[in-house]
Amino acid sequence: MLNIKVLKALNGDCIIISYGEKEKHNILIDGGQGRTGFRQLCTYVDNEKKAGNKIDLLILTHIDSDHIDGILRLLSQKTFDFSLIDEMWFDFGKGLNDLFGINDRSHQVTLYANSTEISWKQGADMEEIIQEKGIRRRIVTKLEQFSISGASVTILSPSKEVLKKFCRQDKKEKKATTEIAYRDDYQKSIVELNQKEFERKISLTNKSSIACLFQFKELRILLLGDSDPEGIVESLTELGYSKNNKLKVEFCKIAHHASRHNTSNELIQILDCSNYIISTQQTNDGRPSKECLSRIICNSEKPINFYCNYKLDWNNVFTEEEFLKYGMKFFLLDEQGIDVGEK
C-alpha cells in the first residue's frame, strides 16, 4: 500500500505519504496554512493516533509560512502528543549552526526571531518547540540517503553550500530575493511559453528547501518542495540520471506550487513521469502558471496527468485545440488521496 494525500493548504504544501504491508507508516511533509487544511491535518493526526499509528517522519521543507504554519499550530496545541513523532527533518536553528560550527551570536539563525518577517519568527518558534519538547531532529543535505520504516529517502536539496549561505544571510538580501512578480500567462499558447527563455528566480530561503526522492519497493515519488531546479538536476546527474537514462517516478510534486521560476525544461527532460501534483489554489502572483505546466507538457514523452488539490477551471487556461493536441488531463484530489500503483 502506498497512498499520497495533498491537503487543502491554500497556496502552501501539506502532503501525507502512507505506506506499508503489515503495518501502516506515515511521512508528513509540511503543514500548509488556512482553516480547511488545518482541520484536515488535525483529523488525520487524531485518526492515526486512535489507530495506534505514528508519524514516522515529519519533514519541514523550509521556513516559509505556507509550509511551516500548520505544523507550528499543530505542535503548539496543549493536548498534542509529541510521542506521535518519531523523527523530524528541519534545516534551521541550532542544528544548522552546529553543522557549520557557528558560535558567533551575530550570525546565529535563531536571532531572526526578532525579524518582522513572519516566516523567520515562525522558524524560531519551531526551533524553541524542538528544544523544549526534545523532538529528535536531523539536519539533512544533498545526496544523503535514509531508510525510513522500510522505505528509502534520498535528499536532492539543499546542498551544504546553500545552507551555509542561508545560515549567514542578512535581512536585506533575504528581502530582495523573495519578491515574485505577478504574471498572467493564461492567454499565451503552450508552444510560445515552452519556447520562452527560462527565468530562474529563486530566493535563498526556497533554495534551502528540502527536496527528496521517496521509494517504497519499486514505486517512487519525487517531492520537490520549493526547490531550485538547477540544484535538483545537479543532484540527479550525480546519481547517474540523464536524458538518456531518465529517473522513472510514479508521481512528482511540482516545485513551488507550479511557479514559472522553479521548473525548467532540463529538469523535466531528465524525468520519466506522467503524473504531476499541483499543490495550490489559484494565486494573485500567477500560480499555477501556464508556463510551468507547458514546460512539463512539451518536455515529456507521454501525455501528462495533473492532480490538483483545488478545483480550477482549466478551460480558461488551455484551449480546446491544446487539449486535443497534447492530451493532458486534470484530476481533482479528494480526502482519500491517490493510491499509487493502483491508478
What pLDDT, in 10s, does the model give residues 209-239? Answer: 999 999 999 999 999 999 999 999 999 999 9
State mean pLDDT over 148-170: 90
State mean pLDDT over 176-183: 45
Give pLDDT, residue 96. 86
pLDDT band per the 50, 70, 90 thresholds, residue 103: low
Kindly state the cell numbers that stand for 209: 528547501
Query: Of the segments 121-125, 194-198, 229-233, which one has the largest average pLDDT value?
Result: 229-233
- For domain 2-174+182-339, the CATH architecture is 4-Layer Sandwich (3.60)
The tens digit of pLDDT for each residue in 54-75 reads: 999 999 999 999 999 999 999 9
Which residues touch 291 (CB under 8 Å, ≥6 apart)? 185, 188, 193, 194, 196, 260
Q: What are phi and psi of 5, to 5 degrees?
A: -115, 140
State mean pLDDT over 242-253: 98
Full-prediction pTM beyond 0.85?
yes
pLDDT band per the 50, 70, 90 thresholds, residue 169: low
Domain residue ranges in the chain? 2-174+182-339
What does the mean pLDDT of the chain come to?
A: 90
